[in-house]
A and B are shown apart, each in its own frame.
Chain A
Amino acid sequence: MPDFETVIGLEVHVELATASKLFCGCPTKFGAPPNTHVCPVCLGLPGVLPVLNRQALEWSVMTGIALGCAISPRFKFDRKHYYYPDLPKNFQISQYDIPFALNGHLDLPSGRKVGITRVHLEEDAGKLIHEGAAGQIGGGTAALVDYNRTGIPLMEIVSEPDIRQPAEAAEYLKEIQKIVRYLRVSDGNMDEGSLRCDANISLRVMGETKLGAKVEIKNMNSFRGVERALEHEVIRQRELLLAGKVPAMETRLFDEESGETRSMRGKEQAHDYRYFPEPDLTPFTMSPERLEEIRKRIPELPAERLKKFQDAPFSLSEYDAQVLTADQKVGDYFEKVVANKASPKLASNWITTEFLALLKDSTLDALVAKVSPEEMAKMIILIENGTISGKIAKTVFPEMVKTGKTAEAIVKEQGLTQIADEGSLRTEVEKIVAANPKSIADYKAGKQQALGFLIGQVMKATQGKANPGIANKLVKEILEKL
């Protein structure tokens, strides 16, 4: 049986978070009542002309730079023609042969290097809302159009066919999401459609260098959906190939319900988009000075930060560094905590576990408002200098989140300061050892668990305030002397 290699390329659409649309002044906010964020320009009324949103242009260039692309010194827009009711002019202003950015790459954490073919800018279309039979155009009684989304800047990132597994496709998409969020050019939400993705996939016999006939998959609305759709497609194409058939070059739709793809249109129905240069927008130039200015505004990117967190002075594990760089704000928080003199290791432990666990019921911004990085650092320093134990800290921290009080105040109020004074602990330890003759016997018999039990009893008796190191030392000392 031949072994097959999967070849995947992705076309990712990112809605830019500009305040206004790509070619007019209408707001881009999601969720407004239908057809309230429209004007003659985005409705494509007779006589209107597009005017390019400079912010969208800069953000696309910025993304191109972040993806290692070469930026074109001169670029233009083109018209892409097709008839659809959600497209008011029946053409989309897009970029055809001279996009902003070409030939970049993205290194995935798993090690795969994915080439970026191009980054270009285009306008989004509206949304059809079908009445009658649920969801399906064929069974519907009427279709209504909401043009609020029409003209929102859409950045398209096209990858080379370098992805080899469905899981890698999802990984690539997550990295793109991270980058656009770090650049703050998009909220990157897949569920609101601000991050969308089409995939091209084909299989070929292992070792073959020629690409097979590609199948385009549309309608994948989550990371999991992308993976599922591609997994299904790998199986489908593999079965065809094993049966001696060649998968048809076509466009297929993913069905979230069934987890399967179904044919939407064949190659013979492929559109001729009749691209030609948009005459209403003269070609644009990008001077080296302007490019440099944009380059300077690019913040530290996830990959750079991931490496930084693994190097000294942070010296975190790859896993911790991943968790802390998944969200730029979390990484920022971590860095501030460390900047306030907390140990990187402890700060990472606290943030990746206790802190992020609270995100289930809260938002990052709300948490940060309650526990500033400065206060988080102070709490960690209390652990480091032995004022409180890690265990006590686990009761202090929720209190901080709940009340917004400082760790110091809570420790003082509740008398949680650790007992690290040998003299005052010794009496307590002696009392507990004396009260547990069975444990003494067990210890003498070589059962180490007895030691743990006794230390636990000490902690219990001191409401956790005993310094665990000192308690340990004292219990051992007293047992040995018996």
Chain B
Amino acid sequence: MPDPSGLSIHEAASLLGGGKISSEELTRSVFSRIKKHEPKIHAYLALTEAGALAQARESDQRRASGKTRGPLDGIPLGIKDNMCTLGTETTCASKILKGWIPPYDATVVRKLREAGAVFTGKLNLDEFAMGSSTENSAFGVTHNPWDLSRVPGGSSGGSAAAVSADLCLGALGSDTGGSIRQPAALCGVVGLKPTYGRVSRYGLVAFASSLDQIGPLAKDVEDAAIILEAIEGFDEKDSTSVKQPGNPVRPALGRGVKGMKFGVAKEWLAEGLDPEVRASFDTARQTLEKLGASFVEVSMPRQEFGLPVYYLIAPAEASSNLARYDGVRYGLRETGANIIEMYKKTRNAGFGPEVKRRIILGTFVLSAGYYDAYYLSALKARTILRKDYETALAQCDFLLSPATPTPAFKIGEKSGDPLQMYLSDIYTVSVNLAGLPGMVLPGGFSKGGLPIGIQLIGPAFREDVLFQAASALEKELGLAGKKPPLEGAGA
């Protein structure tokens, strides 16, 4: 049998179900893969091997006594380190939370526990999920498994890299402006940002509350569906989670795209798009047409406002959400002559430059005298952007777009230029502003062998049709299961 760490969740689940492999064996194979490749990738901030093996053995016992819990029972998964895990350090890749051990599980973590999942560890991210490359992690950058000199994307870069390099079978990420989808594209895996409100945010350390959403990063579309079904649903602890979150997604897999209508926004294919990205977008389009789907050109005239609006709303909310890190109750505390000095020193030492930049920006836009001009205008523009989506989606079933303007860039290439970095989320941010579901799946490779992603955007709570289309496209493109050339690659 090939190395079990390379299995997809559904493959592993069927081997576990058939008694061909135990969860303990599967878990051990993942950890031996981690030992081999993690040093050069650095996807993890914490590994929980002992706990994972205990969970795996419990899963095997359940299976032996006929009490298995479903497709995730015994499956090794990684958790982005901005989701609270009872008893396991949760840092958000920030010095300010170093050493903080949550006294509770995030709802998604609790649900995965209850589904029998095995937790491999906590995955790297840009500090407080602010960034597009994991270069903003206080604990070191994650390397893209397809080219170790390049970024894995971000902020869920650890999650995308770990899934891509078989350092776990699937992972949770969070997406505020593209933080699941952009790294999924850059690492050649599937990533879903569900509709806002479909998955509980309780226990996700907040970055921008009105935009944050947890979702799966997976080796293929079916795995993403399995994870989504395990974590979704109304949570009485999250007032923004929705009571009826839509149809189940797994039954929609494999239904094909015949008769479906895809919209393409002309504004998305304007200049600045990398020719190789454009080429794989065209391939995806032709493939869908071959499968019986039709295309219509739509217009998203206010798309250009997406990034500016995002960079007003997200920092404003972040400046508020991050106010609690003050050294009084938990995490880092620097000493000061008085409390104000203690606050200043703690926050100065605890936060990295990008987090500080956004706190300053957010504090400014919420300040008296500026609120109306910036924050209030941004809220109005957000409503207009949402209307653009409504209008476009009234003419078609989905929108098809590139996931990122370019494949993975070099580590250090954009880290000195925040505006360049922000542009890498140009295709993803407005989806968060509109609260819609967006899915990225592998669409091809550059000549240099770097993955290129395709994004599907659907109406709110219609993840089922999104999965239906994605599974058809994935099958036809035949890219699932392509592995990065890690053997022999050096750090």
Binding site for B on A (CB under 8 A): 40, 43-52, 79, 81, 83, 85, 88-91, 143, 145, 272, 274-276, 279-282
CB closest chain-B residue, reference A271: B368
Can you add 13 more A-B contacts, CB < 8 Å, to A47-B203, A85-B328, A276-B371? A46-B92, A47-B205, A49-B201, A49-B240, A51-B239, A81-B366, A85-B326, A90-B326, A145-B328, A275-B366, A275-B371, A280-B238, A281-B239
B203 lies within 8 A of A90 (CB):
no
In this assembly, does B231 line the interface, its C-beta being within 8 Å of a C-beta of chain A?
Answer: no
In this assembly, does B281 line the interface, its C-beta being within 8 Å of a C-beta of chain A?
Answer: no
The docked-state distance in angstroms from the alpha carbon of A445 to that of B201 is 99
In this assembly, does B343 line the interface, its C-beta being within 8 Å of a C-beta of chain A?
Answer: yes
Which residues B127-181 have CB closer than 8 A to chain A?
none
Residues of A within 8 A of B367 (CB): 272, 274
Residues of B within 8 A of A88 (CB): 324, 328-329
Residues of B within 8 A of A274 (CB): 319-320, 363, 366-368, 371
Q: How many A-B residue pairs have CB under 8 A?
A: 98
Q: Which one of B97, B202, B316, B328 contacts A48 once the chains associate, using CB atoms below 8 Å?
A: B202
Residues of A within 8 A of B102 (CB): 40, 45-47
B206 lies within 8 A of A47 (CB):
yes
In this assembly, does B103 line the interface, its C-beta being within 8 Å of a C-beta of chain A?
Answer: yes
Residues of B within 8 A of A276 (CB): 316-317, 320, 366, 371, 375
A91 lies within 8 A of B326 (CB):
no
Residues of B within 8 A of A45 (CB): 84, 102-104, 330
Q: Which one of B201, B238, B320 contacts A91 once the chains associate, using CB atoms below 8 Å?
A: B320
Secondary structure of the A contact surface, majority rule = loop
Instruction: Give 1 or 0 for each of B196-236: 1 = CB within 8 Å of chain A CB.
Output: 00000111111011100000000000000000000000001
The docked-state distance in angstroms from the alpha carbon of A461 to that of B326 is 83
The docked-state distance in angstroms from the alpha carbon of A88 to that of B238 is 19
Binding site for A on B (CB under 8 A): 83-84, 90, 92, 97, 100, 102-104, 106, 201-206, 208-210, 236-240, 316-317, 319-320, 323-324, 326, 328-330, 339-340, 343, 363, 366-368, 371, 375
Q: Which one of B106, B239, B324, B340 contacts A280 once the chains associate, using CB atoms below 8 Å?
A: B239
A40 lies within 8 A of B324 (CB):
no
The docked-state distance in angstroms from the alpha carbon of A359 to that of B321 is 51
A49 lies within 8 A of B324 (CB):
no
Residues of A within 8 A of B316 (CB): 276
Residues of B within 8 A of A90 (CB): 323-324, 326
Q: Which one of A40, A47, A85 contacts B339 once the chains associate, using CB atoms below 8 Å?
A: A85
Distance in angstroms from B428 CB to nearest chain A CB is 19
Distance in angstroms from A79 CB to nearest chain B CB is 5
B371 lies within 8 A of A47 (CB):
no
Known interface pairs A90-B323, A276-B375; A282-B103 also in contact (CB < 8 Å) = no
The docked-state distance in angstroms from the alpha carbon of A40 to that of B100 is 13
Residues of A within 8 A of B97 (CB): 46
Residues of A within 8 A of B100 (CB): 46
Known interface pairs A276-B366, A276-B375; A46-B84 also in contact (CB < 8 Å) = yes
The docked-state distance in angstroms from the alpha carbon of A279 to that of B343 is 25
A279 lies within 8 A of B106 (CB):
no
CB closest chain-A residue, reference B379: A277
Residues of A within 8 A of B201 (CB): 49
Q: Which one of B209, B236, B239, B324 contacts A44 once the chains associate, using CB atoms below 8 Å?
A: B324
A81 lies within 8 A of B209 (CB):
no
Residues of B within 8 A of A51 (CB): 236-239
Residues of B within 8 A of A143 (CB): 339
A40 lies within 8 A of B328 (CB):
no
B83 lies within 8 A of A47 (CB):
yes
The docked-state distance in angstroms from the alpha carbon of A276 to that of B314 is 13
Ranked nearest first, the 8 interchain pairs of A and B with the lowest CB-CB distance are A90-B323, A279-B209, A274-B366, A279-B210, A46-B205, A47-B203, A47-B84, A272-B368
B104 lies within 8 A of A40 (CB):
yes
Distance in angstroms from A328 CB to nearest chain B CB is 35
Residues of A within 8 A of B324 (CB): 44, 46, 88-90
Residues of A within 8 A of B208 (CB): 279
Distance in angstroms from B87 CB to nearest chain A CB is 14
13 contacts between A and B (CB under 8 A): A47-B202, A50-B239, A51-B236, A83-B340, A88-B328, A89-B324, A90-B323, A91-B323, A272-B368, A274-B319, A279-B208, A279-B210, A279-B240
Residues of B within 8 A of A281 (CB): 239-240
Distance in angstroms from A52 CB to nearest chain B CB is 7
B238 lies within 8 A of A49 (CB):
yes
Distance in angstroms from A316 CB to nearest chain B CB is 50
Distance in angstroms from A35 CB to nearest chain B CB is 11
Residues of B within 8 A of A89 (CB): 323-324
B239 lies within 8 A of A282 (CB):
yes
A49 lies within 8 A of B84 (CB):
no
Most buried by B among A43, A90, A91: A90
A40 lies within 8 A of B323 (CB):
no
The docked-state distance in angstroms from the alpha carbon of A43 to that of B203 is 13
The docked-state distance in angstroms from the alpha carbon of A43 to that of B328 is 11
The docked-state distance in angstroms from the alpha carbon of A242 to that of B418 is 60
Known interface pairs A83-B323, A276-B316; A47-B237 also in contact (CB < 8 Å) = no
Most buried by A among B97, B104, B210, B239: B239
Distance in angstroms from B462 CB to nearest chain A CB is 21
The docked-state distance in angstroms from the alpha carbon of A43 to that of B343 is 18
The docked-state distance in angstroms from the alpha carbon of A43 to that of B103 is 12
The docked-state distance in angstroms from the alpha carbon of A79 to that of B328 is 20
CB closest chain-B residue, reference A284: B239
Known interface pairs A45-B330, A46-B84; A280-B237 also in contact (CB < 8 Å) = no
The docked-state distance in angstroms from the alpha carbon of A279 to that of B208 is 9
A40 lies within 8 A of B103 (CB):
yes
Residues of B within 8 A of A145 (CB): 328
Distance in angstroms from B151 CB to nearest chain A CB is 26
Distance in angstroms from A57 CB to nearest chain B CB is 12
Residues of B within 8 A of A79 (CB): 320
The docked-state distance in angstroms from the alpha carbon of A205 to that of B244 is 62
A46 lies within 8 A of B90 (CB):
yes
Distance in angstroms from B336 CB to nearest chain A CB is 13
The docked-state distance in angstroms from the alpha carbon of A288 to that of B206 is 35
CB closest chain-B residue, reference A41: B237
CB closest chain-A residue, reference B128: A46
The docked-state distance in angstroms from the alpha carbon of A272 to that of B371 is 11
Distance in angstroms from A121 CB to nearest chain B CB is 15
B326 lies within 8 A of A83 (CB):
yes
The docked-state distance in angstroms from the alpha carbon of A40 to that of B202 is 11
Residues of B within 8 A of A83 (CB): 323, 326, 340, 343
The docked-state distance in angstroms from the alpha carbon of A79 to that of B210 is 14
The docked-state distance in angstroms from the alpha carbon of A122 to that of B363 is 22
The docked-state distance in angstroms from the alpha carbon of A226 to that of B316 is 39
The docked-state distance in angstroms from the alpha carbon of A279 to that of B238 is 11
Distance in angstroms from B346 CB to nearest chain A CB is 11
The docked-state distance in angstroms from the alpha carbon of A47 to that of B208 is 11
The docked-state distance in angstroms from the alpha carbon of A50 to that of B368 is 26
Residues of A within 8 A of B340 (CB): 83
The docked-state distance in angstroms from the alpha carbon of A172 to that of B90 is 51
Distance in angstroms from A158 CB to nearest chain B CB is 20
Distance in angstroms from A84 CB to nearest chain B CB is 9
